[in-house]
Chains A and B, each alone.
Chain A
């Protein structure tokens, strides 16, 4: 049966492994409900989180959306969409803005906060970069009192520190054109992958105490550091589980698909854990079988994982990040399903690691073979619901704010700061 649903939220992800589309909505209590899901293999359309073949990506997205519509039992009128973005084209900066409070009572008010935030956002971006979003990092009162929400407090000077994300123009425009081709004309909202995953997996206590979230996919490993509800750092490295599979393929003379399957094969993992010395694989073409030492298999995986996590560790500022992360690391994405990855991450970062399994969702969750893989997509649904509830109170669409930044600056900045509070 077909029906339109105006409250339906569509979320899309162009992953290196597969393109996914999710339909969801918000129930009366404000909780996210998954209505339908569709996914199709990327088939080379996406590499390291960026679309490299727009035509193929459009075809694959069409199929994924059709699957999602079918599983939801609806015909969705495609107007608005939320889309995950990832890849090495995303950069982060810290913006600083300062305002002096001359009022007699020296109370910080909304206009002071907005003015400081506006100044902090006033960063000159390179011409090839577009503003993706800005998030509160923290505020300083009189240069030394650090707070997350200064509204109503007393100070002579207010400093706002924002975490500003920008993305390369080219991949964003390509993604936009693919989405427009599928009928999403009204509003397209782009969200950085770990930001979305943070919405889906983190608890309030973790966001307050300090947590590092790492989202490891097939082509990209991205991260975000959150403390006292502000983002301190974020980034992306264009290396993922496909690199591990590629290393195995070259090192052990195996096909790439075979290596991808081996990584996620729980039977193989159990056999290795029980102490089997060799992995028996069928020979390519000749038909003769080959025995690969388990040590070789583990060695290749370990070298790559150590390298990835060592690079992430180097990118994190040890003065501001790692000492303050009381909640440790939340690990999500396809890479988090690998036991070796979790163990290696804990050893390299020297912090406890937990799997970031999305929580608080209902509906067609059985369609998800492993919710860990869908942490960012499910998180995007929660993000969209939060934006929607904030829109209802301010009456302003954030997509428009991003599209034509500069008009009605005060109103747009108000909405930006109100919504992008992680």
Chain B
């Protein structure tokens, strides 16, 4: 099942419905705005009312807390809608209200139902407001630990391969199409009859090994497009905006790739995967798969998820001047000023107890405070 949140989710589902072969997937839209919900072609729509005293049907006005509470009230319906599903993909645009707030409620339900799920969420452009970006970052931080597989897709990646003279409206339509194709590609990884291929556990292991940045590319081609349809699909995959260009691929730490086709030939599959692997650094783990879907007919689809593990930064090293330097005051690494954390920590009943230290952390301080995770304390009941 594909679960989409908010306005971005609604547009993505509309684009998803236009993809061939997408009809076999169940879709669910979770929205607060009644107009956006009415325009969506999802199989099912669940609208949460933010202002339930007035029942206005308006959205949450960019406030994630309102959205989270609105969807919390619908927890029962969400649980019923998601129960019995084998696999769920959750998508939405972080930064606003509905998706940022609603995804926490959905993640909590999915966790309680113990259903494997992948969260593919877009993050705001770098030029968008600080509030949107910090809402998105906070949401991603909160989801770590709940969501087993979380793939953030920065909107900035859209511009890495789009021509700069592309008009705005078609650019966003292309973004929705690309996101829908990515979702379709991920769904195909686990849905079709596999000849060979990674399963959810392998997928999850690659993504939970370390903190990482993901990029996803998807390319399709058929025999009408040219003699070597697989090579064309590979080219289109490499041009996918969410892949972020060849640089991402050549510097990735792990790769999950799958080919889907209706009449996929062994020779072309082997050749294409070998060509793709030749772009990658030597020695990185690659999980490759091939699936058959008769609905594809003569089309082939190549999807790749490139995972780049984040190197941890050690601020102490950057402050020590290098003895090799001609100028003793200089250091090789540039100095980055950190943020001063003004949050006060409370130990509650353990205030007068000796601290329980583990890896320089005081375990008596609540875990959610040390992780910087915000908690909704609720409001007065009506």
Contact = CB atoms under 8 A, between A and B. Distances in A.
Interface of A: 47-48, 88, 237-239, 242-243, 246-247, 249-253, 256, 275-278, 280, 283, 288-296, 298-300, 302-304, 306-307, 311
A29 to B, nearest CB: 44
B68 A295 contact: yes
B368 A295 contact: no
A248 to B, nearest CB: 9
B367 A307 contact: yes
Query: Which of A288, A290, A291, A298 has the largest number of chain B CB atoms within 10 A?
Result: A291
B76 interface: yes
B378 A300 contact: no
Nearest to B369: A250
Nearest to B148: A347
B366 A293 contact: no
Contacts of B375: 251-252, 296, 299-300
A256 to B, nearest CB: 6
A246 B74 CA distance: 28
Contact of B356 (A239, A292, A294): A239
A290 B377 CA distance: 9
A295 B111 CA distance: 10
A239 B364 CA distance: 8
Contacts of B381: 278, 280, 288-291
Given A298-B108, A298-B112, A293 B368 contact: no
Query: Which of B108, B350, B367, B379 has the largest number of chain A CB atoms within 10 A?
Result: B367
A292 B364 CA distance: 23
A246 B76 contact: no
Given A242-B349, A278-B378, A296-B377, A250 B366 contact: yes
A238 B73 CA distance: 37
11 contacts: A48-B353, A243-B363, A250-B369, A251-B377, A283-B380, A291-B378, A293-B68, A298-B108, A298-B112, A299-B375, A304-B366
Contact of B76 (A238, A247, A275, A311): A275
B338 interface: no
B364 A243 contact: yes
B148 to A, nearest CB: 10
Contacts of A296: 375-378
A88 B357 CA distance: 11
B382 to A, nearest CB: 9
B133 interface: no
Query: Which of A275, A276, A298 has the largest number of chain B CB atoms within 10 A?
Result: A275
Nearest to A305: B367
A88 to B, nearest CB: 7
B208 to A, nearest CB: 12
Contacts of A238: 356, 363
Contacts of A306: 145, 367
Contacts of A293: 68-69, 72, 105, 376, 378
A303 B371 contact: yes
A247 B367 contact: yes
A242 B348 CA distance: 11
Contacts of A275: 75-76, 79-80
B104 interface: yes
B373 interface: yes
B152 to A, nearest CB: 20
B367 A289 contact: no
B201 to A, nearest CB: 11
Given A238-B356, A298-B108, A253 B371 contact: no
Given A239-B363, A256-B349, A276-B76, A299 B105 contact: no
Contacts of A294: 72, 75, 108
A295 B350 contact: no
A261 to B, nearest CB: 15
A20 to B, nearest CB: 21
Nearest to A303: B367
Q: Which 8 A-B pairs have CB atoms at the shortest separation, nearest pair first?
A: A277-B75, A295-B108, A292-B378, A275-B76, A247-B366, A293-B72, A303-B367, A246-B348
A71 B70 CA distance: 53
A276 B72 CA distance: 9
Given A289-B380, A296-B377, A302-B146, A246 B108 contact: no
B346 interface: yes
A221 B250 CA distance: 46
Interface in B343-357: 346-350, 353, 356
B358 interface: yes
Contact of A88 (B72, B146, B356, B366): B356
A290 B307 CA distance: 43
B368 A290 contact: no
A303 B373 contact: yes
Contacts of B378: 252, 278, 290-293, 296
A292 B73 CA distance: 11
A303 B350 contact: no
A306 B75 CA distance: 23
Contacts of A288: 380-381
Contacts of B347: 246
Contacts of B73: 277-278
Nearest to B351: A246
A268 B209 CA distance: 36
Given A295-B104, A298-B108, A298-B112, A249 B348 contact: yes
Nearest to B350: A246
A315 to B, nearest CB: 10
B12 to A, nearest CB: 24
A302 B356 CA distance: 20
B348 A292 contact: no
Contact of A251 (B74, B145, B368): B368
Nearest to B380: A288
A304 B104 CA distance: 18
Contacts of B104: 295
A168 B246 CA distance: 60
Nearest to B75: A277
A229 B35 CA distance: 68
Contacts of B346: 250
A302 B368 CA distance: 10
B101 to A, nearest CB: 11
A252 B374 CA distance: 11
A61 B74 CA distance: 50
Contacts of B379: 290-291
A225 B340 CA distance: 43
A303 B79 contact: no
Nearest to B114: A343
A293 B348 CA distance: 22
Contacts of A290: 377-381
A250 B348 contact: yes
A243 B346 CA distance: 12
Contacts of A277: 72-76
Contacts of B367: 247, 300, 303-304, 306-307
A201 B378 CA distance: 41
A365 to B, nearest CB: 32
B367 to A, nearest CB: 4
Contacts of A252: 375, 377-378
